[in-house]
Chains A and B, each alone.
Chain A
Amino acid sequence: MTEPLLELKDVRKEFRIGGGLGIRRRTVAALDGVFLSISAEEPTVTALVGESGSGKTTIARLVMGLVEPSSGEVLYQGRSVRDWINSDEMAYRRQVQMIFQDPYSTYNPFYRVDRVLFSTVKKFNLASTKEEAQQVVLASMRAMGLRPEYILGRYPHQLSGGERQRLMLCRILMIKPRLIVADEPVSMLDASLRSIFLDNLLQLKESLQLSCLYITHDMNIAHYVADDLVVMVHGSVMERGDARSLINEPMHPYTQLLVASIPTPDPRKRWQDRLELNVSTLKELKPEVGCKFSPRCPHVMSVCREKAPPLFDRKGRRVACFLYE
């Protein structure tokens, strides 16, 4: 068995907030003992699903080397990300790239959009002459269905969100990484453009044989793109497994809640249940000990409040719930 492409081993990430004269600083654990891995055997899209505050963005930043874990390891091809960056940052960046959520603010408004592409060519040594650089850029744009004569020379605000996001895919096409981290790349795009982007992403997966860690809170999208799905709550993994089967037969109570909350664009399949008066969902109470979902879980047992469940193996799935012990 080859080592995984990406692996997170018992990763904890804490942030200290507050503090000052005489006021104690609180530690907030954004990630609390996360185990995650993406196989290197074949290109996969792994969706990381969770509500805001679940820690998914922190994982993205750890993988990209923007932050360091407080404890635990973040390994790419067996070596820690920090090691990669310290010894040869560009080698790491060539293998691991990112697509951001906001297609507007990832562009520096001072420059034309060309800069994003041409600076990539320069940084990654994709061409040795100006003419070659031009060829590389134009080829990637055409492959993505963008017309260079309409796009190049423009400033970010002159393009639409869909075009800007697609330009980012051009960049990916030029670099040809092995792994991309996509942080909600379509959430700020219009509905009719989303599927175009997602299809482009899947086509890139096939043609470049790349894997993707796709972060989203939208289960419909996760269902569309993902092979594997990882569900997180408050910095811990609740369940992971094959995307289709996980959505069809969720095991973890939280996943069940998520799946039951998905709105479907089919009026014949509306939610049948009624609104519940649930006082305990006051603010997603984050327990210090025990299972992160225990305050809201309909099947909560006393053991759940005492210690956090590890990931149990069940039918090819991994579920962090004492119901499956």
Chain B
Amino acid sequence: MQPTILEIEDLHVYYKTVAGDARSVEGVSLSVHANEILGIAGESGCGKSTLVDGILRLIKPPGYVPKGRVLFKGVDLLQLPKATMREYRWRDISYIPQGSMNSLNPVIRIEEQMGDAVLAHVKVGKREASQMAISALAKVGLPGDVLRMFPHQLSGGMKQRVIIAMSLLLNPSLVIADEPVTALDVVAQKAVLQSIARLRDDYGMTVLFVAHDMAAHAEIADRVAIMYAGEVSEIGSVSDVFIEPLHPYAQGLIGSIPSVDRGSVKGIPGLAPNALEWPSGCRFHPRCPVAIDVCPKENPPLIPIRDGRYAACHLVKADA
């Protein structure tokens, strides 16, 4: 069993609104093991992006973190002074926000932008900064020639890989990516996903990535956590969860994906609930095809079922 790099304990993220607190993330506990890719899946409004913002202390008012710990190699990130956290954010944990491929300055060469990123954190000579850039680009499968180019000469997929490379410049141990392939065409998407897989396979890195596209998780993740209504409903290895999902929501979600190697699929009726008014008891109960009496009354906790699988459902009992 690999050591745990990131341990999230009972994290809560709320947003103050006129109508009360929106409880976007409530009681999420997760561990990210070294050298794995952990995928966070879920549909819009489930809180996955908020979770990531919470981990990295990027929550701004009216959002706040009332409770929880985020232990990175034993250190609680939520308790660190801001300056120290900032250092962690580039050197040890790097973050690739949603849509970041559009944040490249179109009129400055890649080499300069990557150089700036390096020099903002360490004092090195230009030559060394270039070397670091080249090796970072190699990690994502891009040739050094890219350095001399301008962003507009690159395709969307390549820009995203440049961004990933930039996040690797200082050799962080953990990379957190929020929807890295959402806006990309399918061919570019594959290249970016494969680049991320390489980070784990060839460079021993750990990746936490958020994506609503389940197929992306199926292709590269080792384990996947499925979120619904601010909570984790199921976690397990990707093969376990996809082939034999335990939680009714996971079953519905995975069963609803059209795919070239499948016939018909079935969606989940009903609407996603909103954070100001989560349903009582188990938040999925209004849409659950197998809800029983206890479901509207008690919210089932996330419990271990077997071999590293967890599910939060009254109908799923732990193996003896």
Interface residues of A (CB under 8 A from B): 51-52, 160, 162-163, 190-199, 217-221, 223-224, 247, 257-271, 274-277, 279, 281-284
Task: Give chain B residues whose Cβ lies under 8 Å from the Cβ of A279.
Answer: 143, 145
Q: Complex Cα distance A196/B191, Å? A: 30
Do A194 and B258 touch across chains, with their CB atoms under 8 A apart?
A: yes
Interface residues of B in 169-192 (CB under 8 A from A): 185-187, 189-191
Partner of A276, one of B141, B189, B215, B243: B141
Task: Give chain B residues whose Cβ lies under 8 Å from the Cβ of A247.
Answer: 260
Question: Given A162-B271, A275-B198, A283-B154, does the pair A264, B260 have CB atoms closer than 8 Å?
Answer: yes
Do A199 and B145 touch across chains, with their CB atoms under 8 A apart?
A: no
Total interface residues in chain B, CB < 8 Å: 51
Do A217 and B143 touch across chains, with their CB atoms under 8 A apart?
A: no
Do A199 and B267 touch across chains, with their CB atoms under 8 A apart?
A: yes
Do A219 and B260 touch across chains, with their CB atoms under 8 A apart?
A: yes
Closest-CB distance, A255 to chain B (whole angstroms) = 11
Assess whether B44 is interfacial by the CB under 8 Å rule: yes
Closest-CB distance, B214 to chain A (whole angstroms) = 5
Interface residues of B in 253-291 (CB under 8 A from A): 253-254, 256-261, 265-269, 271-272
Question: Given A160-B272, A284-B155, does the pair A257, B145 have CB atoms closer than 8 Å?
Answer: no
6 contacts between A and B (CB under 8 A): A224-B265, A264-B259, A265-B242, A269-B261, A270-B219, A275-B141
Closest-CB distance, B224 to chain A (whole angstroms) = 9
Question: Given A195-B256, A275-B194, does the pair A262, B186 have CB atoms closer than 8 Å?
Answer: yes
Assess whether B128 is interfacial by the CB under 8 Å rule: no
Smallest CB gap from B190: residue in A: A261
Closest-CB distance, A244 to chain B (whole angstroms) = 9
Smallest CB gap from A224: residue in B: B258
Would you give the 0/1 interface string for B39-75, flagging 1 where the beta carbon is closer than 8 Å to chain A?
0000110000000000000000000000000000000
Closest-CB distance, B150 to chain A (whole angstroms) = 10
Interface residues of B (CB under 8 A from A): 43-44, 141-143, 145, 149, 152-155, 158, 185-187, 189-191, 193-195, 197-198, 212-216, 218-220, 238-239, 242-243, 252-254, 256-261, 265-269, 271-272
Do A266 and B261 touch across chains, with their CB atoms under 8 A apart?
A: yes
Interface centre among A52, A197, A198, A263 (most CB of B within 10 A): A263
Q: Complex Cα distance A199/B158, Å? A: 35
Q: Complex Cα distance A276/B265, Å? A: 33
Q: Complex Cα distance A52/B187, Å? A: 11
Task: Give chain A residues whose Cβ lies under 8 Å from the Cβ of B214.
Answer: 191, 265
The 8 closest A-B pairs by CB, nearest first: A263-B215, A196-B267, A224-B258, A190-B43, A192-B268, A51-B185, A275-B194, A261-B190
Q: Complex Cα distance A52/B215, Å? A: 20
Do B258 and A281 touch across chains, with their CB atoms under 8 A apart?
A: no
Task: Give chain A residues whose Cβ lies under 8 Å from the Cβ of B141.
Answer: 275-277
Smallest CB gap from B214: residue in A: A265
Task: Give chain A residues whose Cβ lies under 8 Å from the Cβ of B44.
Answer: 190
Q: Complex Cα distance A266/B92, Å? A: 32
